[in-house]
Amino acid sequence: MQRPEAWPRPHPGEGAAAEKEAAARGGTAQGAGATEPPGLRLQEPSLYTVKAVFILDNDGHRLLAKYYDDTFPSIKEQKAFEKNVFNKTNRTNSEIAFFGGMTIVYKSSIDLFLYVVGSSQENEVMLMSVLTCLFDSLNHVLRRNIEKRSLVENMDGAFLVVDEIVDGGVILENDPQQVIQKVNFRVLQSAKEQIKWSLLK
């Protein structure tokens, strides 16, 4: 999955110039006869599809979390949200929940709960593809042992996995093999840098 390109934007002043020209003709910038009933204007497409990714243990305590907007600006608010989500989901067999105006997909493994959060309008299939990619990528990084102890011991690798899947709320990748290749490359580059600096000392 390639990185999404930015949406094209009009040059500064284009919109205003069109409106002035239309007003001078006694019309609107939408064109002759084009009327748009109130409330039917389509929302501008957004690339920012993921609001948060977090992993909790089987007591609902945070192990890993990344938030991509200011819905929950403080750590206290984030942890309160995570606890509420955990209480709502830890005893159910479903994989999708709707809570606090948000769509949440989740998956459990031994003593871990993995969550991906989007807005209430977000496509559940898209969010589920992120969750599946996260689970499969961690399964490789943690050597098919997705449980708390293994995650804690490999937290750096887990954060790298999340960063390769989602960046700033934008989905970058949903293919686990591509994620693993990129993570391995970053680990290799980091190791080379460490060796380089150790030799320079």
Residue pLDDT, tens place only, 80-118 = 999 999 999 998 888 999 988 999 999 999 999 999 999
* CA separation for the pair 173, 163 (Å, rounded): 10
What was the pLDDT predicted at 46? 57
Burial class of residue 201, CB neighbours in 10 A (0-12, 13-18, 19+): exposed
Task: Spell 22-55 as b/e; 16+ CB within 10 A means b.
Answer: eeeeeeeeeeeeeeeeeeeeeeeeeeebbbbbbb
Which residues share a beta bridge with 116? 53, 105
Looking at 110-175, list the stretches that DSSP marks H as alpha helix, in order from N- to C-terminal side: 124-141, 148-153, 155-165
Q: What is the pLDDT of residue 113?
A: 96
Q: Which domains does the chain have, with CATH numbers?
A: 50-195 (3.30.450.60)
Q: How many CB atoms lie within 10 A of CB 88?
A: 15
* pLDDT beneath 50: ranges in the chain: 1-20, 22, 25, 27-43
- Whole-number Å distance between alpha carbons of 197 and 62: 34
> Regarding beta strands 112-119 and 166-167, do their DSSP bridges make them parallel or antiparallel, or are they unpaired?
unpaired
* Confidence (pLDDT) at 34: 46
**Taking the model in full, what pTM does it have?**
0.73
Report pLDDT for 81: 97
The pLDDT, as a whole number, for residue 9 is 40
**Overall size of the chain counted in residues:** 201
